[in-house]
Each structure stands twice: as structure tokens, then as C-alpha cells.
Amino acid sequence: MTPSQPVRTGRRGDLHAGWVLAMAWLWLGCTVSLRTLFLPDEGRYVGVAWEMAHASDWLTPTLDGLPFFHKPPLFYWLTAAMLKLFGPAEWAARVAGVAAAGVVVAALYAVVLRWRGNGPARWSAIVLASQPMFFIGAQFANLDMLVAACISVTVLLGAHAAWQFESGQPDRPALAGAYAVMALGMLAKGLIGIVLPGLVVLVWLAVTRRWRTMRRLWWWPGWAMFSLIAVPWLGVMQARHADFLHYFIVVQHFQRFAQSGFNSVQPWWFYVPVLLIFALPWSAWLGCALMRRRGGPAPTGAPPHMPQLRSLAWTWLAVVVVFFSVPESKLLGYILPALTPLAVLVVEYADALWQRSHTARRARWICAVAAPMVCVGAIVVYAGDNPKSTRELARALALARGPGDSVAVLDEYPYDLMFYLRDVAPIRVVTDWSPAEVAAHDDWRKELADAGGFDAAAAKTRLIDAAQLRQAVCDGNVRWVIGRTERLQAYPDLIAARRVTSHGERSLWRVSRAASGCAEPVAGGGPVQ
């Protein structure tokens, strides 16, 4: 295959990638404060970051004060830093996702500008940033956009290094960047940060029979850099907790990927309609262009390396979709790494239509206006009443409780409670903690039970059953209870508790020893009823 050559165009109209990054951040972050944290994901990951922001140990993520190793720490570090600087604001909790998404847009622009020119670069960035799924994903405070960004930037840098090498240009800076970002992907969500970008680049090079380039990209100094960034945290956690690596790698990676029984079971074809629907209106351009041209010749004057960019994007899209279609459990956020190659393909194939037809160009600009309106409209609708949020209950509790008053929650763990309560003191979680009950649910129970396995002493006082709750109330250690209103009937000792307020699905109760039928101590003798 003929080596790729960079596009030699004038700089007129070209934007510096730094300006693209700034504009992407402004656009993607424009609605970050419009809604409360959504449960469970936003509340869970922001709650862990909130605890970390107020802890002396920023190495061990904790959930209710218990070591929480479902995911690695990069998101927690970034979000904890923002919360430490700016306090418990929703916009600060969402900065990591916005920042990561903006970096992807800027990286895509810079690479396409280098190898395809200004027009394709500009429109690739516009299409990516205005896809509704990308826009919403950027403003969702969980790990999905962060790891998607690491995967996407690693692939872009790896491809750029390959083209640099094949065209006789310096390739080591891009290659070093690819290995460094891949290490951040490992710290963002584990092995997926290595496996997915590695698969994309290797399959692409194998399909195009570029074995020499493949050998060039396997760079031992790069792996040394990767190890220096990604391995130390793993080593420290294993030194502190003997079962850490087995739990983090075997259980959370391989077992969760291979086994069924987890949440959100979907059919194998689930992600195909998801991509087509949530990338509208841009995905329609790809379908229209493919039907009209059936992948026909490149536009007049297109550089010879254009098919390489197309083959990269098709390989990238296929690998991501197939990889995440294998497990039975499928969540929308998993497919975010496929949005970047989808944007590339839209521009690569629709560009011929845009060049030939004035009507197509006008329709393109209509989409460029309509897509952002859809994005903002979706957030506004999404920002409606959130009955699962504990913000209002937390505000009422903060006003009513006295110093040192502790809280218990019934049959759930409201992840966002401590964030909105502006507190980090662990709460007592009351439910049936028997192994059979825990194993039957892939939810907050299992997360807390797993975390408790790394600190059994602390778990014993925080993960309690109904009998232990009554004792805690009688000992004066629990004065407030939060739970779903109907669940109080399952706790007869709390029937006489005074309901202070309700919001959505939950209520807040004030409990007392007398109302709970506790024995009162008498001077010089034992308790009397």
C-alpha cells in the first residue's frame, strides 16, 4: 500500500486544535448544572469522589467508607479534585466527562486536519460534538465518557503514528502519547483501556497487511511508560489488600464480561439501532451516502490515503460494536467509543454529496443547527423532576439534625445522599445481608457487601439488619431514618417514628428510643421497660 502523506494545504481557515478544544468545552459544558445527580450511576461515582475529596488517603476509593474496587481511580481523582476546589456542585462533579469529551473532539480535528484537510476536519468535529448521545454522555458523571475518550485518543494517536512512520515523518511523539493515554485508559476503567484500542489498531493493520508498521507500533519504551503510569496504583492496592487483584481483574473484568445474570440484559443486535437513533440526524447522512454511492470512489482531488482513514473508521466501529455485543449485559454508555469513527464515516462518505449538491450543503447546515437543538432539548427534558434524588431530603435533614446525629437507610443505598448532605460520615445501611440475598441481586447490596469484604470490622457496624437497627436506635446511635415510604411497615420497631418530610419515593423519619419501645436505664439498677 502506498505510504500516506500529510495533506499540504494552506492554513487559511484552519483552526488551531487548542481553539477547537476550548469551543468544544464551552459547547459540551453549557448545560451541566441543569439537573440533579441521576441514580444510580452519577450518584455512585460522584459519591465515591466526594468521600475521596475529604479523605486523607486518595489512593483507596471508598463507598460508605468501605474500600470500593469496582473501578480504578482516575475518574475519582479528577472529580475529587474539582469538588475539593469548588465544593459539592453538580457542574463540578461533571467536569471530568466534559473535559474528556472535549479532548476527543480536538484530537479528532487535529488528526483529520493533518491527513485530510480543513473541511473534513472541521465537519468531523462538528458531527461528533453534536451527536445527541455524545453530548449527553459528556455531561453524565460516570466513567463511560472518560474511558471512551482514552480509547478514542489512543486509536487516533496510534493511527497518526502509523501514518507518520509510513510517510517518513517522526512517529515517536505520537506513539509515546498513545501509550501514555492507554495507561490512563487502564486507570479509567481497567483492562478495557488496553484491550479495545489495541484490538482496533491491530485488526486495522492486519486487515490492510501492514506488518512492518505493526512491528513499529509495538514499542518497548512505550510499554515501560505505560507501566510507570498504570501499574503503581495496582501494586499499592494489592499490597494493602491481599485479594485485590483477583477481585479487580478476575471478578470485575473476566467474570462480569463472560457471565450472565447482571443488569440490563439486551439482545446481541442492541447497539446497531442505538447508534443509528442516538446519532441522528448525522447517521442518516451515512445511510444516504452509502445507498447512493455504495462506497463509491473518493471525491475528486481526495488524497491517496483516504481509503486508509475509511478502513480505520470501519474497523474501529466494527470492533467496538462486536466487542460490546458479546456480553448479555449492555448499557448505552458502553458504545460511546464507537461515536468517533461514526463521525469520521459520516463525513468521509457524505462529503461527495456535499461537494456536488447545493441542496445537500444547505441540508448539512440545517442539521448543524438542528442537532445542537436536539442535544439541549434532550438535557432540558432529562432535567425534569428526578424522584430518585435525595437532594430535598438531604436539605431537610441538614436543617433538622443535631451535631453527631447519625443516619440509617432502609433497604437501599442512596448514593447521592452524602453529596447533598455535605457530609462524609458513614451511614448505616439496613437490609438482609445474608449471602443468598446478596448473591441474588447485582445492585447496591452486592457492591457494599463486596466493599465490606475488604474491611470486615467497619462493615460490621455499617451493614446491619433489622435487629441491629433496633439496638442502634436504643443505644442512641441512630436518630434519623431514610427509606421508601412503604418499607417502614417491614420494621415494626419504627412504626411510631415521626415522619418529617417526604420527597418522591422516599421519606425522612425522626426516631427516638421511647417511640421504638427501648428499655430506659434507671439509676442504680438495670433497665425497666
Domain count along the chain = 2
Domain check: are 376 and 403 in the same one? Answer: no
For residue 147 the three cell numbers come to: 474511558
pLDDT higher at 257 or 332:
332
Residue 297 has pLDDT above 60, yes or no: no
Peptide bond into 281 cis (omega under 30): yes
**Among candidates 302, 282, 334, 298, which has minimal Cα distance to 137?**
334
pLDDT 10s digits, 408-464: 999 999 999 999 999 988 999 999 999 988 888 888 999 999 999 999 999 999 999
Q: Using DSSP, state whether 265 is helix, strand or coil.
A: strand
Residues 350 and 396 both lie in one domain: no
Distance CA 142, CA 102 (A): 16
The whole-number average pLDDT for the span 138-160 is 95
Q: Of the given ranges (346-360, 444-458, 514-528), which has the lowest mean pLDDT? A: 514-528
pTM of the model as a whole: 0.90
* H-only helix segments in 2-94: 17-28, 41-53, 74-86, 90-93
Report which of 142, 52, 57, 34 is spatially closest to residue 418, judged by C-alpha positions.
52
Residue 341: CB atoms within 10 Å = 28
Q: Report helix, strand and coil shares of the chain as percent, to nearest 5.
A: 60, 5, 30
Tell me: pLDDT of 238 over 90: yes
- What pLDDT score was predicted for residue 153? 97
**pLDDT given for residue 300 in this prediction:** 46
DSSP 8-state code for residue 267: -
DSSP annotation of 384 reads S
- Cis omega (within 30 of 0) on the bond before 88? no
Note the pLDDT of residue 332.
87
503 pLDDT higher than 60: yes
Mean of per-residue pLDDT scores for the chain: 87
DSSP label at residue 528? B
Residue 527 has pLDDT above 50, yes or no: no
| Domain co-membership, 296 together with 194 | yes
Residue 381's pLDDT is what?
A: 82
3-state SS class at 276: helix
Q: Residue 157's pLDDT is what?
A: 97
Residue type at position 149: A
> Both 339 and 282 in a single domain?
yes
Phi-psi region of 463 (alpha: psi -120 to 50; beta: other; left: phi over 0): beta
Instruction: Average the pLDDT over each of 4-8, 35-39, 96-100, 500-504 and give the range with the smallest value.
Output: 4-8
Same domain, 484 and 464: yes
As a whole-number percent, the residues of the chain with pLDDT over 70 amount to: 89
Residue 262 lies in a domain: no
What's the pLDDT at 517? 64
Quote the pLDDT of residue 295: 43
For residue 110, the model assigns a pLDDT of 94
In a domain, 275, yes or no: yes
Give the containing element (helix H, strand E) for 195: helix 192-207
Q: At residue 67, what are phi and psi to the nearest 5 degrees?
A: -55, 125
Residue 355: predicted pLDDT: 81
Three-state SS annotation for 306-367: HHHHHHHHHHHHHHHHHHHHCCCECCHHHHHHHHHHHHHHHHHHHHHHHHHCHHHHHHHHHH
Q: Does the pLDDT of residue 356 top 70, yes or no?
A: yes
CA distance 147 to 149: 5
In-domain check, residue 409: yes
According to the model, what pLDDT value does residue 522 have? 44
419 shares its domain with 271 = no
- Measured CA distances, 76 to 5, 37, 59, 187, 294 (Å): 41, 15, 10, 10, 45
Q: Which of 203, 205, 207, 150 is nearest to 179 (CA)?
A: 150
Which of 382, 412, 441 is where one domain is finished?
Answer: 382
**Does 325 lie in the same domain as 473?**
no
Cβ neighbours of 6 (radius 10 Å): 17
- What pLDDT does 384 receive? 73
Amino acid at 324: F
Provide the pLDDT for residue 431: 93
Q: Chain centroid to CA 295: how far? A: 34
With 90 as the cut, is the pLDDT of residue 299 above it?
Answer: no
Are 294 and 325 contained in the same domain? yes
Average pLDDT of the residues in 364-392: 86
Average pLDDT over residues 482-499: 82
72, 188 in Cβ contact below 8 A? yes
Report if residue 436 sits inside a domain.
yes
**Which is higher by pLDDT, 237 or 467?**
237
On whether both 93 and 55 belong to a single domain, the answer is yes
Q: From CA 104, how far away is CA 157, in angstroms rounded? A: 11
Domain limits for position 53: 23-242+267-382
- At residue 7, the pLDDT reads 60
- For the cut 50, the answer to whether the pLDDT of residue 529 exceeds it is no
